[in-house]
Amino acid sequence: MTLTANWSYPTAIRFGAGRIKELADACAAAGIKKPLLVTDKGLASLPVTASTLDVMEEAGLGRAMFFEVDPNPTEINLEAGVAAFNAGRHDGVIAFGGGSGLDLGKLIAFMAGQTRPVWDFEDIGDWWTRADADAIYPNIAVPTTAGTGSEVGRASVITNSESHVKKIIFHPKILPSVVICDPELTVGMPKMITVGTGIDAFVHCLEAYSSPHYHPMSQGIALEGMRLVKENLPKVVANPNDIEARGHMMSAAAMGAVAFQKGLGGIHALAHPVGAVYNTHHGLTNAVIMPTVLKFNRAEIEERIEKLASYLDIPGGFDGFFDFVMKMRSDMGVPNTLAELGVGTDKIDVLAEEAVKDPSAGGNPVEFTLEAAKALLIEAIGEQVSA
């Protein structure tokens, strides 16, 4: 076999407690003098955001903020954000928050100078070359959750408000110029956001690790990312003020996003349409679906999972790992079924069709057919699964 691949890795990351104080220096490094801070509605009124705006103002960067960002951002949010960016004559974005704030912030910086609709830049073939690269503004990413890893991504996920389909928009310049990973910013997260985002990071690593594509660097990063989540997510759930464990979770989140350059799989392929149609939390949706897809993929990944279990000090090979996943979910209060998240069987056909078309499906170790997607959805909506 001839080993060939196209690889790229992330950007400058300033990692450590208290480093939000370096925001002005990060803006200077990115060439931003008049930033627009983009965050979500839930974060806009919290002290962590107010203190960040204070850092901006004290540095002479103003305190302009846009927060009309839904949990699953749409092109309506994007259009409003671009209008605010251009009206304020901003020259860059500080994307602040969890996946929704980070994704939309990056897209506002990307789209503010474009003349084509955002859907023209979907992650298909070389569509990204349609963009006017000289009209893309810089962005700085400041995650306040530890899960999506959007801070080190060259893409953003956005939901079409009419079709309720999630689309991945890609361009190399969507990648943040500078990332500030300050674990102190994650301390105030509600428990279920900590759990959902933390398991999201785990799933990113697990699906990347299980993907059949060749990318040994991502493979190693995925392995270590899962170890960090296994050892530290229970700590931050038990003690939200454990800054060291919070830091390890922020590392795991970034590692998951780097790792999934190798590919994702059926968990994400199913979670994306479910989230778009039912507006469920992405990380929790992944957490619920994970055991069902693990079982489905067993024949192709059993040997690989046995090695993973050994690395994680989990006895019992695949079965032991599966039991660990089920216990982790149970211990952290993750629902057993999608039905508990409000997902019904009335839209199975639509969800399955979109899941098969989702770019993540191509990384699944077992062929992801329409029939398989329907069966997996029905199982995930229903009762708890067992190995």
Q: In terms of DSSP bridges, do strands 139-143 and 155-159 run parallel, antiparallel, or are they unpaired? A: unpaired
pLDDT at 384: 44
Contact 176, 217 (CB under 8 A): no
Among candidate residues 91, 87, 97, 24, the one with its CA nearest the CA of residue 61: 24
Residue 314 and residue 215 in contact, taking contact as beta carbons nearer than 8 Å: no
pLDDT at site 293? 98
- For the whole model, what pTM was predicted? 0.92
Which of 259-290 are b and which e, b meaning 16 or more Cβ less than 10 Å from the residue's Cβ? bbbbbbbbbbbbbbbbbbbbebbbbbbbbbbb
Please list the residues that pair with 180 across neighbouring strands.
14
Q: What sign has the CA pseudo-torsion 40, 41, 47, 49?
A: positive
Q: Which residues of 74-100 are buried (b: 16+ CB within 10 A; e: fewer)?
A: bbebbebbbebbeeeebbbbbbbbbbb
How far apart are the C-alpha atoms of 151 and 293, rounded to whole Å?
A: 27
According to the model, what pLDDT value does residue 10 have?
A: 81
Least Cα distance to 102 among 276, 302, 282 occurs for: 282
Task: Please report the pLDDT score of residue 385 as a whole number.
Answer: 46
Q: What is the pLDDT along the chain (387 residues), one digit of tens a residue?
A: 456 455 556 888 999 999 999 999 999 999 999 999 999 998 999 999 999 999 999 999 999 999 999 988 999 999 999 999 999 999 999 999 998 999 999 999 999 999 999 999 999 999 999 999 999 999 999 999 998 899 999 999 999 999 888 899 999 999 999 999 999 999 988 999 999 999 999 999 999 999 999 999 999 999 999 999 999 999 999 999 999 999 999 999 999 999 998 999 999 999 999 999 999 999 999 999 999 999 999 999 999 999 999 999 999 999 999 999 999 999 999 999 999 999 999 999 999 999 999 999 999 999 999 999 999 999 999 844 445
